[in-house]
Amino acid sequence: MAKTATIRARIEPRLKEDVEKLFQKMGLTTTEALNLFYRQVKLRNGLPFNVVIPNKTTEKVFKDTDAQRNLVRCDNADDMFDNLGI
């Protein structure tokens, strides 16, 4: 049996470039990062992070934030907590 296997995947070029820069900062090659990912999937018997579908309220907040609508600016942490009612 071969000691390694080849993986082929299609990915957005910009995403690939951005992520490979992050891997480089961490001292990892793409191969090493993928090996880490596969080992974590095996260890956890699933993805090493939660995958959730946002509810309609969360989805609306994401869209509003992306469009920079309904944003609230706070001067400091106390101001933020006051705005949140905490």
Domain residue spans in the chain?
Answer: 13-44, 52-86
pTM of the model: 0.60
Note the pLDDT of residue 1: 73
How many Å apart are CA 63 and CA 56, to the nearest integer? 10
Cβ atoms of 71 and 83 within 8 Å: the answer is: no
What confidence tens digit (pLDDT) does each residue in 4-30 have? 999 999 999 999 999 999 999 999 999
